[in-house]
Amino acid sequence: MAERSAFDELWGVSRGKTARPGFEALAEWIAGAPPGDLQRRQQAAEAAFRSLGITFNVYGEEEAAERIIPFDIIPRIFSADEWTRLSAGLEQRVNAINAFIDDVYGRRQILADGVVPQDIVLGNSQFCIPCAGAKPPHGVYAHICGIDLVRTGPDDFFVLEDNARTPSGVSYMLENREAMLRLCPELFEAFSVRPVDSYPELLRDTLYSVAPRGTREPTCVLLTPGHFNSAYYEHSFLADNMGIELVEGRDLEVDDDIVWMRTIDGRVRVDVIYRRVDDAYLDPLVFRPDSALGVAGLMAAYLAGNVTLVNAPGTGIADDKAIYSYMPEIVRYYTGEEPILPNVETWRCREPAALGHVLDHLDELVVKLVDGSGGYGMLIGPTASSREIETFRAALKAEPQRYIAQPTLALSTVPTLVDQGIAPRHVDFRPYVLTGSAGVRIVPGGLTRVALRKGSLVVNSSQGGGTKDSFVLAGRHGEAETP
């Protein structure tokens, strides 16, 4: 795949000859940097990240499990027009996601109308049976969505994946920008970059806006699984920047369907929980009984309407990979519009014809578990060994309904600092979409993940991916409309 020439975010299809219109200053900046200068700045950024403790833990590694995510100093840029189109598409998609979740836990009209097969929803491991019939305060389910986008050409953006449970990575968007402002201030003179630092405030507003209706000033908290969790830094960063308490399950208790947190002055009532704990661990009385991360009775408090959970339990039904393939239909069904952001072509292996096609083309396709994430449980045909392919073939035949397949896309590239100098590396992009009681808000930016190995398409941090800052440029007249 690396042989196919991919669209480059800086050079377009010119193969490094001419920068895309409006991005010339970045090409000049790269060309004009004295030898070793970019490396030095990048090392300074990484040293700062380590000293701040901006680390993530890798599952399955006991020793020295705290790593920093490699940071690449060459930014990825979106023009104002590109962003206008992307944000319209994101808003449309997230509105559809929330409508879909509301429907499947309520009237189930979309199933009755046969747009999405009933068994794929009701028989799905992500379908939260205790949530059926429950309506969260203000009717919002997926308050925070991370929509993974990829690009293959000038106008070809696709949604690769929806993350409607507890998407992570937004702290890197913010810290990467901080590092760029400090280390490369000249880039911000050359480009009119829209700021992203209002994200914690917007998130805070979102949380407060969905508090259960009442007269008191609501108390919001961020629930973390604890400081051994891979995203703990982000949890503490966000809680800190929003000025809310960072709590663990053992700090909370439920009494008569009311959630309380234990403080040095006694109990304080909690109204909104931005939880970064998965559904399965939320409440040992309802979900996994062995979970020590959650709070006994939390679901009862939620179902009684006394506390808002952000995101609501059960949102996994919308980002399941089996459901993903129906997203274009779902968008049309609830919005009455054509999807602005198309899906990647997807074969549902549960359908015999699709399965046949997939089995015949395993060496060309990407095969994914419908309930996998983080780049685990995935076959990348073109780079897989024949042994891996045969393992997947057997697994596909045994349980076809657990898999989908997609073509290997020529993901766009961005010039990236590597050992040998500067070389194109494949990227994806995760913007963060907030939905509060008054609708959708999007900070102009997101997380660009880059596959640092040559030719690699796997951008996950747990698999050797890095990150870049993502510039969204202000409109031509310099107006920086608020997000």
Partner 1 sequence: MLSRTAAHLYWIGRYMERAEFTCRLIEATIRLTALGDHESGDRAWRSALSVVGVQADFDRGGEAFSAAAVRRYLTLSEDNSGSIRACLAGARDNARAARTALSVEVWQAINRAWLIIRDRSRPGNPQATLNLIEELKAEIRGFEGAVGRMLRSEGCWFIELGAVVERGDNTARLLDVKYYLLLPPGQEVGGALDRDQWTTILQIVSAKTAYRHIYRGPLQPWLVADFLIFRHEMPRSLAASAGESVELLGHFAALSGRQGPADRLARQRLDRIEDLDIVTVFQGGLHEWLHTYIGENAALDGAIARQFRFG
**In a 3-state reduction of DSSP, which class is residue 225?**
coil
- Least Å distance, CB 222 to partner 1, is 9
H-run or E-run covering 415: strand 413-418
- Least Å distance, CB 51 to partner 1, is 6
H-run or E-run covering 272: strand 272-275
Q: Which of 248, 271, 320, 469 binds partner 1 (CB under 8 A)?
A: 248
Amino acid at 190: A
Q: Which of 240, 255, 390, 399 binds partner 1 (CB under 8 A)?
A: 240
359 and 396 in contact (C-beta within 8 Å)? yes
Quick one: which segment of 257-265, 298-306, 442-450, 455-463 binds partner 1 (CB under 8 A)?
257-265
**In a 3-state reduction of DSSP, which class is residue 249?**
helix
Could you say whether residue 274 binds partner 1 (CB under 8 A)? no
Could you say whether residue 158 binds partner 1 (CB under 8 A)? no
- Least Å distance, CB 228 to partner 1, is 9
Nearer to partner 1, 229 or 435 (CB): 229
Residues composing the chain:
483
Q: Which of 31, 264, 353, 398 binds partner 1 (CB under 8 A)?
A: 264
- Least Å distance, CB 250 to partner 1, is 7
Q: Which of 3, 265, 419, 479 binds partner 1 (CB under 8 A)?
A: 265
Query: Which residues, in sequence order, are CB contacts of 247 under 8 Å at separation 6+?
Result: 221, 222, 223, 224, 261
H-run or E-run covering 469: strand 465-472
A 10 A CB-CB count for 286 gives: 22
163 and 147 in contact (C-beta within 8 Å)? yes
Quick one: which segment of 262-270, 303-311, 397-405, 455-463 binds partner 1 (CB under 8 A)?
262-270
Q: Which of 178, 197, 251, 278 binds partner 1 (CB under 8 A)?
A: 251
Residue 185 burial by Cβ neighbours in a 10 Å radius (0-12, 13-18, 19+)? exposed
Amino acid at 248: E
First-last CA distance in the chain = 37
Quick one: which segment of 15-23, 111-119, 195-203, 230-238 binds partner 1 (CB under 8 A)?
230-238
Nearer to partner 1, 178 or 371 (CB): 178
- Inter-CA distances, 475 with 24, 90, 111, 194, 479, Å: 17, 19, 42, 9, 6
Contact string (CB under 8 A) for partner 1, positions 200-229, x = contact: --------------------------xx--
- Tokens 């949102």 correspond to 315
- Least Å distance, CB 231 to partner 1, is 13
Q: Which of 239, 286, 378, 417 binds partner 1 (CB under 8 A)?
A: 239
Q: Which of 82, 178, 205, 245 binds partner 1 (CB under 8 A)?
A: 245
Could you say whether residue 247 binds partner 1 (CB under 8 A)? yes
- Inter-CA distances, 428 with 92, 447, 463, 465, Å: 20, 8, 14, 11
Q: What is the CA radius of gyration of the chain?
A: 22
H-run or E-run covering 301: helix 298-303
- Tokens 């909104």 correspond to 272
Could you say whether residue 43 binds partner 1 (CB under 8 A)? no
- Least Å distance, CB 66 to partner 1, is 9
- Least Å distance, CB 85 to partner 1, is 37
Contact string (CB under 8 A) for partner 1, positions 49-88, x = contact: -xxxx-----------------------------------
What residues make contact with partner 1 under the rule CB under 8 A?
50-53, 226-227, 232-233, 236, 239-240, 245-248, 250-251, 261-266
